[in-house]
Amino acid sequence: MSVTPGRQRFALVGTGARAEMFVRALVLDHPNTAELVAFADVNPARMNAHNGWLAELDFDPVPTYLASEFSSMLEKERVDVVLVTTVDRTHDDYIVAALRAGCDVITEKPMTTDVVRCERILRTVTETGRKVSVAFNYRYNPLHEKVREVLAEGAIGEIGSVHFEWLLDVRHGADYFRRWHRDKANSGGLMVHKASHHFDLVNWWLDARPVQVYASGRLFFYGDVAGKRHGYARPYDRAHGSPAAADDPFALHLADHPRLRALYLEAEVEDGYHRDQNVFAPGVTIEDDMAVLARYDSGATMTYHLTAYAPWEGYRVMFNGSRGRLELEVVESDFVSPQAAGELKGAALHGVQAAVEEGWAKITVRPFWEQPREVPVSGYTRTGHGGADARMTAVLFGRHTDPMDRAATARDGALALLTGLAANRSFETGQPVRVAELLTIP
């Protein structure tokens, strides 16, 4: 690709499935303001797969670098902004190296996975004066924007409490137990990897920060012990090539998915990583059923529950205020069809394909002594995380204005992370955790 004056030069490190949305947005949607100049990864086959897709889109391939060559890549390719979409526990290594090289960073959420890594990032941001943006795309969902707008207008007065129920169905939820996320050392568990989205939303909606967290969580459904107890266990380690996985609705068959076959099955020779592990096999160290009680500096409280083995997918958020109540209900899939059990829910969420099942969304305001009213929302879709992905990349890559202050900073990433880390600590101790005891953030 030729160099065009005025365009920012982007390099991407971590070319797994999460990278595809960013790559497509860079080359297809924002060619006047951004250009993709390099890939870095530990696995050459995955980088080659992404270059193959660029060729399908009629774009030239970009230079590829092993992860060990990351710093030299930044200099050689004159990178302005680094996109980090690697395994969560490695985010801080690339973020810090990029900042010290004079680059800005956009990182997939969560920003990182523990307090030490978080402190390292925040310290480097201060030392270098460079910028870290966290890709909290849920802020850009039209439904979530409307909720913030209605709350800010005072429609239900001062917020006293929030209840947030999140359901991952047995297709989408299972996928976190097939891959590297199943090891808490890699992902921080679902309280960090997945719930960071939601904890950030609550911080943003309330314009508040968490001060104390109490939580309880366990591995109830997935894993070898629960799989045997509930009768779902099958005798295989990974699905590919296993007769026992042939008719298992929890199995992922990589050979049936061209993208996943190229990214993972054909790349195994490079690093031995198996993307299709048995969700009921040993080795799962994360929870699948979690409850949280948080208190914020505004005085509001939040009750939160995440279930990763539900029959349908979506979420309900209820705000109780001094003048009434606001309710957000989102049904992303009303059930999991047998035909789609082995598909990836993320394909629909990321806009790669349409959802098979039915879904809907609704915001309702219930004032005291008045009839409830439904709040109209424009721009919401059932793909691309409700339309959020395109809106986020327009701000991050297209330099569009952001009047709702949606772009999340390193500080925002840290505050969302701390709720999850405090919950994990509370899982271990059985006691409430003061967030300031983990890390003080100005």
The residues that bridge with 65 in the sheet, in sequence order, are: 40
Report the pLDDT value the prediction gives residue 380, as an integer from 0 to 100.
87
Average pLDDT, the chain: 94
SS3 77: coil
> Contacts for 54-58 with beta carbons within 8 Å, 24 or more apart?
54/23, 54/27, 57/24, 57/27, 57/28
d(C-alpha 106, C-alpha 109), whole Å: 9
Number of CB atoms found within 10 A of residue 270's CB: 13
Mean pLDDT by 10 residues, the chain (442 residues): 67 96 94 96 98 95 98 98 98 98 98 98 98 96 96 98 97 96 98 96 97 98 98 97 96 94 96 97 98 98 98 97 98 85 55 70 98 94 85 89 87 97 98 96 88
**Backbone dihedral angles phi then psi of residue 329, each to the nearest 5 degrees:** -125, 125
**Backbone dihedral angles phi then psi of residue 239, each to the nearest 5 degrees:** -75, -40
- Four-CA torsion 36, 73, 106, 58, nearest 10 degrees: 20
Q: What is the pLDDT of residues 325-372, one digit of tens each?
A: 999 999 999 999 877 666 665 544 444 555 678 899 999 999 999 999
Residue 127 Cα distances to 120, 277, 285, 321, 353, angstroms: 10, 41, 35, 41, 43
Which among 277, 226, 230, 248 has a CA at the least distance from the CA of 338? 248
The residues that bridge with 291 in the sheet, in sequence order, are: 216, 305
d(C-alpha 30, C-alpha 319), whole Å: 37
d(C-alpha 123, C-alpha 96), whole Å: 9
Give the orientation angle of helix 142-152 with respect to helix 195-206, to 10 degrees. Answer: 30
Q: Is the distance from CB of 287 to CB of 189 less than 8 angstroms?
A: yes
Report the pLDDT value the prediction gives residue 1, as an integer from 0 to 100.
33
d(C-alpha 432, C-alpha 301), whole Å: 14
Report the pLDDT value the prediction gives residue 386, as an integer from 0 to 100.
85
The residues that bridge with 10 in the sheet, in sequence order, are: 36, 81
Report the pLDDT value the prediction gives residue 398, as an integer from 0 to 100.
85
Residue indicated by tokens 């298992």: 248
**Domains defined along the chain, listed by start:** 8-135 (3.40.50.720), 138-222+284-387+403-438 (3.30.360.10), 224-271 (no CATH)
Q: What is the pLDDT of residues 158-201, one digit of tens each?
A: 999 999 999 999 999 999 999 999 999 999 999 999 999 999 99
pTM, 2 dp: 0.95
d(C-alpha 167, C-alpha 176), whole Å: 13
Label residue 48 exposed, middle or buried (CB < 10 Å: 0-12, 13-18, 19+): middle
Number of CB atoms found within 10 A of residue 116's CB: 10
Amino acid occupying residue 332: E
DSSP class of residue 399 equals -
Q: Is the distance from CB of 326 to CB of 365 less than 8 angstroms?
A: yes
- Four-CA torsion 172, 175, 177, 178, nearest 10 degrees: 160
d(C-alpha 32, C-alpha 340), whole Å: 38
Which residues, other chains included, contact 235 with Cβ-Cβ below 8 Å and sequence gap of 6+? 244
